[in-house]
């Protein structure tokens, strides 16, 4: 766990729609000052200048959920709570740092889990690395069309042939993979740190020192809910 989460547990929050915890120093400052002035949450929202109270509540809650880059909120915060700009600026920078560190820690944990669970597999490369139209990645199972699980019991020397035999089963009658176009080659991820790119005939084109991974797409609503995470974009970051 990062030091930032061990130092003090006063206002440890989660980023919206995630399990990422961060320390909200700016949140501590606002809540402490609000109580000093004897103000309710509604009082603060009105002092901030929100005419639409429902919208003000949403912005206030979003701020405490990590969406701290709200221009209107920040521009009026000093006058609303009679706070010095220097105090607000310092608290903001500490909170930003906390969020960055927490996000980095979360990514490191996910990467560790991915490496532990890694099994050799293949990825079909296509004319387009991004689905067209892109919303099809949300509502269709595009991942299963491009990702090929290999039979590792047969040995690494068989992976290339396995890919060449399976690719024809992944295309439609028109020779394409829906939304991505025709296959142009494939990559075999032998390990998290070793991958090889081949053409469709199995000729080696490029050796890589990182596995080829698939990105994500999601649909987000105003209430923050996400649906149908889907792997859609190729990336070489592991």
Report the C-alpha gap between 143 and 148 in whole angstroms: 9
| pLDDT at site 132 | 75
What would the pLDDT profile of 125-178 be if each residue is shown by its tens digit?
Answer: 999 887 777 666 556 667 678 999 999 999 999 999 999 999 999 998 899 988
Of residues 232 and 188, more confidence is placed in: 188
| pLDDT at site 217 | 54
| pLDDT at site 18 | 59
Q: Cis before residue 133, ω within 30 degrees of 0?
A: yes
- Indicate whether 106 pLDDT > 70: yes
Please tell me what DSSP assigns to residue 14.
Answer: E
| pLDDT at site 224 | 46
Confidence of residue 118 (pLDDT cuts 50, 70, 90): very high
| pLDDT at site 223 | 45
Classify 11 in phi/psi space as left (phi over 0), alpha (psi -120 to 50) or beta. Answer: beta
What would the pLDDT profile of 199-231 be if each residue is shown by its tens digit?
Answer: 999 999 999 999 998 766 555 544 444 444 433
Least confident of 81-85, 138-142, 177-181: 138-142
- Indicate whether 87 pLDDT > 80: yes
| H helical segments located in 118-226 | 136-139, 143-146, 159-170
Confidence of residue 6 (pLDDT cuts 50, 70, 90): very low
Please tell me what DSSP assigns to residue 177.
Answer: B
Q: Helices H, strands E: what count in the chain? A: 9, 11
Of residues 16 and 40, more confidence is placed in: 40
Question: Domain segments of the chain: what residues?
Answer: 3-115, 118-235
Residue 172 DSSP SS3:
coil
Burial class (CB in 10 A: 0-12, 13-18, 19+), 106: middle
Contacts for 232 with CB less than 8 Å, ≥ 6 apart = 130, 131, 134, 137, 142, 143, 214, 215, 216, 217
Report the C-alpha gap between 44 and 34 in whole angstroms: 7
Of residues 19 and 79, more confidence is placed in: 79
* Angstrom distances, CA of residue 171 to CA of 67, 129, 160, 174, 180: 42, 15, 18, 8, 10
- Indicate whether 110 pLDDT > 60: yes
**Mean pLDDT for the chain overall:** 83
| pLDDT at site 5 | 38
Predicted structure pTM score = 0.65
Q: What is the mean pLDDT of residues 21-37?
A: 91
Residue in 120, 110, 107, 105 with CA at minimum distance from that of residue 192? 120
Give the highest mean pLDDT range of 122-131, 179-188, 224-233: 179-188
């Amino acid at each position: 766990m990062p030091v930032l989460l061990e130092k003090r547990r006063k206002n440890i929050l989660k980023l919206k729609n995630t399990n990422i915890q961060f320390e909200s120093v700016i949140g501590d400052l606002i809540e402490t000052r609000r109580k000093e002035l004897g103000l309710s949450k509604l009082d603060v929202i009105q002092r901030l200048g929100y005419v639409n109270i429902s919208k003000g509540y949403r912005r206030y809650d979003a701020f405490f959920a990590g969406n701290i880059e709200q221009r209107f909120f920040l521009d009026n915060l000093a006058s609303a709570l009679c706070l010095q700009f220097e105090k607000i600026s310092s608290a903001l920078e500490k909170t930003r740092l906390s969020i960055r560190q927490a996000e980095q820690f979360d990514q490191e944990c996910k990467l560790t889990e991915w490496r532990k669970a890694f099994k050799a597999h293949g990825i079909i490369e296509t004319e387009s690395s991004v689905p067209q139209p892109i919303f099809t990645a949300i509502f269709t199972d595009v991942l299963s069309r491009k990702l090929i699980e290999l039979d590792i019991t047969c040995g690494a020397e068989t992976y290339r042939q396995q890919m060449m035999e399976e690719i024809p089963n992944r295309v439609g009658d028109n020779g394409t993979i829906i939304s991505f176009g025709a296959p142009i080659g494939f990559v075999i991820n032998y390990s998290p740190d070793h991958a090889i790119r081949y053409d469709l005939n199995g000729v080696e084109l490029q050796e890589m020192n990182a596995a080829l991974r698939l990105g994500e797409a999601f649909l987000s609503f105003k209430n923050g809910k996400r649906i149908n995470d889907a792997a859609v974009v190729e990336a070489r970051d592991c």
